Structure 1
């Protein structure tokens, strides 16, 4: 069976919560409706005319892009202009567009994480923390014969994660009392009679972005007509999420050798390098896309080199002045690796649905070297 567009959005936002996006950014459903059925999804960096043609030819319902379809405010959509003409084509082909941009950059398993992992870095951590998720404590009361069913429903919906441990819950046995009033249909007990029931107090931890799904799962799995539960906001904070990543190479390399390795690994058409060729490289900072804003953070963190894209002349001079080596592998090459990563993620999440997830085959660098 097909998935609703809204279901796929929820899966994407579990990976890249919208609250991670920069204030100036525009993320989310750009075109379409959450209620529409989706059977084919196309993943790309940019929504361009060739990508739209590809989506139409491959029977796609939903395009998921990294860069937003609408980035700056749009005052008009003229069909005789590039953006308006492309939007018209999207509407004619009944194609929806969802974009995850800076929220996907900053996500725990987002663009910069995959860039660091692709380059073989170890001990990877966030370079510039911008967000720490808040948590809630959920407490509910379950009859003994349904404790396992409810517990598993909660953890499948995203409750009970602490670091690298899943299914973290606590339960204690006790006695619940209730009096079913006129018109009720109690799972246990009789109308008009005070009931005493052996129950478990079941509690677990929930990240903010999973709270709606966990409550939905609780109400569906719980056998009672009226489900008793408490939600407590916690002072606990989750792991840092944010811009860039920093890690170490398994072994020390020269800057020139590492630069050539970056070029080959990312399939970049060229790399521009700031720094002495013989400089020894061990600690590496990365930031997918345009990452000049994290140069100082990379230097402060003790990085030997920053791997990013879109470095301008004066920014290269700034890196030179503070003694930070930089490898500019281009915006496209440092971000394109998120496309296959998203394909794998969505395929895993949608394996029980009749939804095909495809990587765009029509994207390439907007320029080429001579």
Structure 2
């Protein structure tokens, strides 16, 4: 399959026109690879380490969730990360494509994969955007579990380096309804409360957002940005594999950008 055909297939599933106005979805760098047989390295965040990995594997497309170019640069200077990414992309003929908020909304996107990992049932979007799609997912746990069992399952499934959750009186309380949203989801707390979810799995939550959640009767669970979005990248590799591409692999150079003292 050619790169152009792969992108056409993807955009029929997750149209970049669905991305938010502040976002930058779609081609970040296209150095003339559209007619080449697709050799794809999938990552969460396009970095120089990922670019070097793509060069080593002779990939011609880095397919990322996070945009390489988010705030338009005013200049490109040697030694700067984006400039070096662009230089290497054109030197080695490697395109960089990002699927961000459009990928968040779709079936098998970032939130949907989290819902599947937790085996939520009767799943619906937290904030619908169009028929059957939207941001986040909320659903039922069947059978119900204790909060301790839910936290243990999240730790086992996502392996976050640091799992943070709201202070609660009883870890044995029964949890039946859970909301999930990969990446930075604290701004959706009010919408989650309206879904009657008891617990909300997301990331990048601040001190007072934990306070807000507690005061509104919601158990906030922060597993980290990387841990909550990386599984969707793995699912994307599985989907690309079904298309019989020339080569596709999940990056081993993706980074969490955080380190915790044990």
The corresponding residue for 2:14 is: 16
Q: 1:147-176: per-residue Cα shift (whole Å, max 9, x none)?
A: xxxxxxxxxxxxxxxxxxxxxxxxxxxxxx
**What is the correspondence of 1:87-236 to structure 2 with a 5 Å cutoff?**
87-130=86-129, 132=130
The corresponding residue for 2:2 is: 4
Q: 1:308-367: per-residue Cα shift (whole Å, max 9, x none)?
A: 01111111111111110011000000000011211111121x22xx52111111123211
Structure 1 counterpart of 2:166, from 256, 270, 274? 274
Matched, 1:315 2:209: yes
Partners of 2:17 and 2:122 lie apart in 1 by: 26
Matched, 1:261 2:261: no
Bigger mean CA offset, 332-341 vs 254-263? 254-263
| Aligned 8 A contact 2:33 2:94 in 1 | no
Q: 1:245-292: per-residue Cα shift (whole Å, max 9, x none)?
A: 011111222223211210111121121001413432110000000111
The corresponding residue for 2:246 is: 355
> Is the partner of 1:38 in helix, strand or coil?
coil
> Is the partner of 2:46 in helix, strand or coil?
coil
Query: How much has 1:34 moved relative to structure 2?
Result: 6.2
Partners of 1:41 and 1:265 lie apart in 2 by: 26
Partners of 2:85 and 2:92 lie apart in 1 by: 11
Give the TM-score, by structure 2 length: 0.94
Structure 1 counterpart of 2:191, from 281, 294, 297? 297
Q: 1:65-122: per-residue Cα shift (whole Å, max 9, x none)?
A: 0000111112111112222122212222211011000000011221100011011111
The corresponding residue for 2:62 is: 63
Count of residues paired in the alignment: 258
Structure 1 counterpart of 2:223, from 329, 333, 339? 329
The corresponding residue for 2:259 is: 368
Partners of 1:364 and 1:86 lie apart in 2 by: 16
| Aligned 8 A contact 2:33 2:60 in 1 | no
Give the structure with higher Rg (CA). Answer: 1
The corresponding residue for 2:43 is: 44
Bigger share in strand: 1
Query: How much has 1:129 moved relative to structure 2?
Result: 0.6
Divergent runs of 4+, >6 A: none
Partners of 2:43 and 2:34 lie apart in 1 by: 22
Give the TM-score, by structure 1 length: 0.67
Query: How much has 1:294 moved relative to structure 2?
Result: 1.5
Query: How much has 1:43 moved relative to structure 2?
Result: 0.4
| Aligned 8 A contact 2:179 2:197 in 1 | yes
Partners of 2:148 and 2:165 lie apart in 1 by: 8
Structure 2 regions of 5+ residues with no counterpart? none
Structure 2 counterpart of 1:240, from 128, 132, 144? 132
Partners of 2:188 and 2:37 lie apart in 1 by: 38
The corresponding residue for 1:26 is: 24
Query: How much has 1:240 moved relative to structure 2?
Result: 2.8
> Is the partner of 2:136 in helix, strand or coil?
strand
Summarize the Cα distance change of 1:121–1:285 in structure 2 as closer, same or farther, 3 Å threshold.
same
Query: How much has 1:368 moved relative to structure 2?
Result: 2.1
| Aligned 8 A contact 2:41 2:54 in 1 | yes
Matched, 1:81 2:80: yes
Partners of 2:70 and 2:86 lie apart in 1 by: 14
Q: 1:25-84: per-residue Cα shift (whole Å, max 9, x none)?
A: 100111114633133101000011111111000110001000001111121111122221
